[in-house]
Structures are given as C-alpha cells and as structure tokens.
Structure 1
Amino acid sequence: MADTDRESTLWTLRKARGWTQQDLVDQFQETAARLGRPIGISLRTVSRWESGNPPWPNVEAQRVLEKLFCLPISQLGFVATGDTVSPSVPAKAEQSDVGPATMDSLHQAVDQLCREYPSAASDTLHQQARGWLNYTTRLLHGRTTLAEHRELLVIVGWLFLLCGCLEHDMGQRRTAELSRAAAARIGAETGHGEITAWSWEMAAWFALTQERYGDALAAAQAGRRPASGHSVAVQLLAQEAKAHARMGSPIDVRKALDHGRGLLDRLPRPAHPEHHFVIDPDKWDFYEMDAYRLLGDDARAGAHAAEVIRLGTRADGTTRSPMRVAEARLTLGVGSARSGELEEAVDNGMAAFEPARKSLPSLLLVGSELDAELQARYPREVATRDYREHLRALATVARRALEA
C-alpha cells in the first residue's frame, strides 16, 4: 500500500469519528489502559502514522489500534508482524482481503450512524457518514470477492441514503438528490429492493417539501413494488397519505392510512426504533397528525400532536425526537390559530424553531401553514408579524444552503 493510501485511510477513519488528532491520542491511551497495555503516543506520533513516515506502530500499538478502530491492522495500512514494519514489506494479500471483521465493523458503524439521525447535529453526522462512505468506497477499489463487492455496494447504498436525508435536512437540495439517485442506482445494480424503495420514499419526501404533490404521490406509489416485504412500505403509504391530504382528497388519505396501519400492526417491534431506516411504530401518530391537520380535523390532529410530544420527550424533559416534536408544535399552533388562540398559536410556532436539530424543508413547509392561518385571521397583530419574521429568517438560512 502506498504511503498516500495509508495516510488517507487512517486520516479518514479518524475524521469519520469526528476526532481531532488529540482525540485520537486520548482514545488510544484509554483503549491501551483497558487492554492492560500502558503505552502512550503523542500528537507527533499520530501525524507520522497518518503521513506514513517510519517508525510505524510496534506490535503493542497495533493491537491497540485494532481494538480502537475495530479493524484488522492490515486495513489501517500496517502489517501485524514484527516490532516495527518496514516500508519495503509487501502486504498486498492482506490489504486486499476485506474479511468478516471489516464487514462487521462497517455494518456496526452504519447502524450507529442511522440510530443517531433523529437527534445528532446534522452537519457533524453528515461529516461522519461521508467519512465512512469514502472509506468504504476505497475498499471497493481493492481486491474483493464477488460477495464482498456486493456487500460493500449495499453498505455504500445505505450511506448514500443517510447522507441524502441529512443533506435535505440542511437545505442542500441538489446534493441530496445526487445522493438519493446514487442510492437508487446501487439498489438497482445489486437488486436490493429495500434500498430502492427508500430511494423512492426520499423522492416522495423531497417532492412534498417542494410542493410537487403529484410527483410525491407518483414516487410513493412507484416505491411499493420494491418495498414488498419490507417495513419501508409503511413509510411510503404515509407519504402517499400526506400527498393526498395536500391535494384535498380525504377518502384517499383514509385509505392510505388504513393500509399503512394494517401493515404496521403486522410488523414486529424493532429492537432499535430510533434507527432512521427502521419503521418506528410510535411514529404513526406523527403520520396521522400531519394528515388530520391538513384535512382540518384539529381535534384529532391535536391529540396525535400531544402524543408525538409525549413520546418524543424523555423523563428528564429533554427531547429525543426534536424534528417530530417541532412539527407537533406547529400542528398545535395551527389548531390554536383556527380556534382563536393567537398567543398560544404563536408560542407553539416559535417553540418549533428553537431546536438546533432541524429538517429545514419540512419545518418551512409546515411553518408556512401556520403563517397562512395567522395571516388569514390576525393580519394586523404584532405576534403575527413576529412569527413571520422568524419564519423568513429560517427561509433565508435554507436559501443560503441551497445556493451554497
């Protein structure tokens, strides 16, 4: 392996975790202590390893690095024999063999990233996901078996899906679509129906937030076939219901919701419902809340919104699902505006803008619904103007992200 490969591999793995070089030093020493190997490294050592300059890690340090990154030492660019490693020693056979340990590490990393989606800072999580995407793509360029090649492609597909969702949340419309399309191509190439179906679900979501409701409905329906046998079918029906609601078709809304509820009731409860690409049964209130708000059934929408807030709030009062809770606040705000409670409506609307973790397009879409209700009912009120100013500030952030 060339020095540049070795540098970028170790550098990429560090960046994928969001670590500085000092963080790596600290993590290395903590891991070494747990292994009963009281050895230390310095920032200068880390810089040397990342640049590929000898002396390289000795056997003791190699064991610590393997434990720290959950990867065989060959995947870090170092061989595992001898006190030091000579740059002239070829290890191509080991380096090109991905192996089960590497695959396990990749699957664990992707699973953890997807479980952090609901609450982690979108820019930080995106940086980590891109780091793992770059690393996995590098492995694809090495020597792999056919089975390993397909498995790596599937991992890349999931990472593209996650990156696309985060990019959409941050208002990066074009980049999000490129990531979604890349995942769709991988789903088709590998015959992975679930990845293909999620790419259609994202297309429906993107179209909804851009007010292309016909396109959203078409995408949700196109995803049904590849979704067969997968829980994403429930999410596709939820997006279909949202499209029908915005197109003013209450009968079709109810059909889609009933169908989705029936599928959901037959699914086992997931071990990790926070995983973004696992259908969380508790999210059903979120789906129904959105549909009933749009149909003007404020009593039902409000009841579901209250449940979304309850489920999204921990016992200590912190929020585990800030994006869902934000839309629930806006739903309560719409109901309050319609019932003559201006102060309560604006308070709920302002509260929806507070969490750092946002999905900008979704928040703007629902936030604009509350703005329309306020403008229609209380156009001269100071509170109405204040709310609109906050909404416009959020729209400016989204516009800058789109132009970046």
Structure 2
Amino acid sequence: MASFVDPRFGVALRGFRERRGLSLRSLGQLAHRSKSHLHELETGVKAPTADTARHLDRVLDAGGVLAGMVDAPIDHAAEAGELRARVMASDVGKDVLDRIEQGVDDLASAYPTTAPADLLPLVRRHLAYVGRLLDGRVTLAQQRRLLVAGGWLAVLRATVHIDLRQRAAAAAHLRAAHDLAEHAEHAEIRGWCLETRAWDVLTQGDYQAALDLSRQAQRIAPQGSSAYIQATAQEARAWARMGDVGETRRALDRVEQLTANLPVPERAEHHYRYDPAKAAAYTATTLSWAGDPGAEQVARAVLADLDPDGDGGARPRRSASARLDLGLALVASGQPDEAVALGTEAVVSGRVVPSNWWRATELLAKVEQAGVPEAAALRELCAEYAPRRRQSADSTTG
C-alpha cells in the first residue's frame, strides 16, 4: 500500500536541515542518502518511505516530527501518488485527465484557506505531473486538456509566489501560464495572468500600471467571465489608489451590473470562479482606499457576513482583510480607537499573507497619524508578526 505524506514534509525537512547548518551534500553523507534524493524529498517531487522519515528524524534530532508526517491521511498527496502511478504504468486516459482537472479545482478551492507555504508544494507537484504527461504521447484533445490544466496550475503557482513575496518566481510562472494559455487558445487564463500582474503591481504602489493591466485583462478575457469581472474590480481598486472617486464608483457600478444575476458557483471558494459575495468585499476594500464615506457601512456588513461569531469564520484570510478594510474606513470617519482594535485582531490572527501585509502597515500609519495612544501597541504587534520574520524558512524561488 502506498504511503501518504504531509505536503509540509519537504518544508519541515529543509527547516531542520538548515537549523543544523547542513547542506544537502553534508546531510546526505550523514544519512547515507544521495543529495539528489534529499532534494526531491524537500521539493515534494518524491514522497519518503516511513523508514526514510524515521532515519532522517534520528539524524536531524527532529523529535519524531518528520516520521509523524508520513502515513498521515493527506488527500492531495494521495491523489498525487495515485496519479503518478497511473502516469508511469499506462498511457494517458480519460480517468487520468479527469483526476488532474479535479486536482486543479481542489487546489484552487484550497487557496483561500491554506497557508501559501503549505499550498506551494502541492501545486508544484501537480504541475510537474502535467509537464511529464505533456512530454509523452497524447492526442491533440488530450494535449489541450493538459495545456489548460497546466495553465491554471501555473497561474495559481504564480499567485502563491506573490503571496510569499517571491516576485521573480511569480513572474516566471505567469509567463509560463500565458504561454500555455496561448497554445491552448484559452482567453480566460490569459485574462487571469494579466489580472494577477495587476494585483501584484498594485501592492507595490504602481497604480497606473495596475490600471493599464486591468484594462488589458478586460479586453482579452471573455465578456462576463470570472476573469473579466475580477479585472473590472481590480480597475476600481487602481482608481481608488489614484484618488479618483468618480472613476472608482463607475468601475464598481460595472462590477455590480456584471454580478447582479450571477449565480453562486458550485464551489464558491474556488479562486477562479467569481462568487457574487466577493463583490461586496471588493467594494468595501475599494471604497475604504478611496476614502469614500460609504465605506464604513459596506465594510461592517461584509465583516458581519464573513465572521458572524468573531472567530475568523470559514474564510479567515478574507476576514482578516475585511477587518483591515473596516479599520481604514473607521479612521476616515473619525473612529480610530475601533480601527486599532480591528487592526490588532487582523494582525494576531496570523492570516494576513505577506503580499497583503502592506495593508496592515497602512492602517498602522493612519491610526498613528490620528494620535491614538493604543497605536503603539499595534506597532509592537506588527513588528512581532511581520512576515519577514517568519518567511525565511519557507522561501523558495523554484
């Protein structure tokens, strides 16, 4: 029976190795394993056997952590292991392609609730399988399905790299996603590539580039598609950051028209299927950035819907962002004390990903400008929870 492995095994192995100050070569000498085999374990290309995990545990004095990750019931790794066996044992069939596409949807649906460092090895592994299949003998129809699956996985991988602030890796995989989409003649993936680039440059402060990329995405993506709607919402955000309230409102009105009769998708958490509920969250963010007086009411409604019990709700990352949005709106309306409390909740939740951290620091700057005494405590928390302190062990450019 095949072993299952926690997708975080490679991250943990690398962490224990680096804390011991060992290179892959030196660990290989200690553990009597090849450098290439250890590299495959760390990058998630291969799953360790139970014996290998226990042996590495002893060598690295990992206290049973590595061994405990083997044989855990991790669905994605099980799927990947089965897929790999099928690829190696037989020609590509419909069942294999169906399973790959199901895996793409599973990963895109896991994106809102899974830590980027945990999701990255899973996406990387699935993308490697698709690449291996594309190297084999496939029909034209099978090839297109693989190209489309690879395109979705590549743009998702780029998004995760952006969340981890690994922008060189993100740019490389966005180019790959675009090329795959071009070969597959898949306009929506091309639109998502541009929209993702727009979000990335927006977070870096290049608002004009974000505006231009959002408009390009709208020209390329199919009218009314999720990519088209998201790009329109991204345009509104760019206008908000540029301080043009009129254009911001007009773009938001277009989003409202596009989503007015849009049904809730079967998997609302799917990152590439526009959920009408997202429209309210984007409106709250955008109006908060624009300093619009209507931001507070919308932001309160969004937070109440996402987190009715105050425990983070089913979508804790989105709930953390909603707290930051409401905080900005409250500062603008002269309520900085509550804004500090909301900022504190968002920061200590640990759910503000690195690419979104600038939103927490922006709220901190606003409450400090307002002269709120409690802002000093928020600054200390921001220093404690800043992602740069926690990302070094998880960072990768591959």
Q: How much does 1:281 deviate?
A: 0.5
Distance 1:188 1:144 in 2: 19
Q: How much does 1:315 deviate?
A: 6.5
Q: How much does 1:357 deviate?
A: 3.5
Counterpart position of 2:187: 193
Is 1:390 the counterpart of 2:392 in the alignment? no
Counterpart position of 1:224: 218
Is 1:247 the counterpart of 2:242 in the alignment? yes
Q: How much does 1:396 deviate?
A: 3.3
Counterpart position of 1:283: 278
Q: Which moved more, 1:157-166 or 1:211-220?
A: 157-166
Distance 2:147 2:322 in 1: 37
Counterpart position of 2:122: 128
Counterpart position of 1:376: 369
Q: How much does 1:382 deviate?
A: 4.5
Counterpart position of 2:21: none
Inter-CA distance 120–257: structure 2 relative to 1 (3 Å threshold): same
Q: Which moved more, 1:172-181 or 1:107-116?
A: 172-181
Distance 1:335 1:318 in 2: 20
Superposition map of 1:58-137 within 5 A: 69=79, 75=86, 77-78=88-89, 95=90, 97-137=91-131
For the Cα contact (< 8 Å) 2:327–2:363, is it kept in 1?
Answer: yes
Q: What amino acid is aligned across from residue 130 of structure 1 in structure 2?
A: R
Q: How much does 1:74 deviate?
A: 6.4
For the Cα contact (< 8 Å) 2:239–2:245, is it kept in 1?
Answer: yes
Inter-CA distance 310–397: structure 2 relative to 1 (3 Å threshold): same
For the Cα contact (< 8 Å) 2:112–2:269, is it kept in 1?
Answer: yes
Inter-CA distance 342–249: structure 2 relative to 1 (3 Å threshold): closer
What's the RMSD between the two structures over aligned residues?
A: 3.0
Is 1:355 the counterpart of 2:349 in the alignment? yes
Q: 2:330 aligns with which of 326, 336, 348?
A: 336
Gaps of 5+ in 1: 1-9, 21-41, 48-67, 79-94
Deviations 1:25-70 (A, max 9, x none): xxxxxxxxxxxxxxxxx957999xxxxxxxxxxxxxxxxxxxx649
Inter-CA distance 292–244: structure 2 relative to 1 (3 Å threshold): same
Gaps of 5+ in 2: 11-48, 55-77
For the Cα contact (< 8 Å) 1:326–1:363, is it kept in 2?
Answer: no
Q: How much does 1:395 deviate?
A: 5.8
Q: How much does 1:207 deviate?
A: 0.8
Inter-CA distance 126–314: structure 2 relative to 1 (3 Å threshold): farther
Q: 1:235 aligns with which of 230, 243, 249?
A: 230
SS in 2 for 1:178: helix
Distance 1:113 1:125 in 2: 8
Distance 1:106 1:399 in 2: 30
Inter-CA distance 179–385: structure 2 relative to 1 (3 Å threshold): same
Q: How much does 1:266 deviate?
A: 3.6
TM-score by length of 1: 0.74
Q: Percent identity?
A: 32
For the Cα contact (< 8 Å) 2:245–2:292, is it kept in 1?
Answer: no
Q: What amino acid is aligned across from residue 379 of structure 2 in structure 1?
A: R
Q: How much does 1:106 deviate?
A: 0.4
Distance 2:291 2:207 in 1: 18
Larger Rg: 1
Q: What amino acid is aligned across from residue 213 of structure 1 in structure 2?
A: Y
Inter-CA distance 181–357: structure 2 relative to 1 (3 Å threshold): farther
For the Cα contact (< 8 Å) 1:270–1:280, is it kept in 2?
Answer: yes
For the Cα contact (< 8 Å) 2:7–2:118, is it kept in 1?
Answer: no
Distance 2:329 2:84 in 1: 58
Deviations 1:204-247 (A, max 9, x none): 10011000001100100001122123221111011000000111
TM-score by length of 2: 0.75
Distance 2:349 2:167 in 1: 21
Q: 1:184 aligns with which of 156, 178, 193?
A: 178
Q: How many residues are treated as equivalent by the alignment?
A: 331
For the Cα contact (< 8 Å) 1:361–1:398, is it kept in 2?
Answer: no
Distance 1:157 1:100 in 2: 19
Q: What amino acid is aligned across from residue 283 of structure 1 in structure 2?
A: K
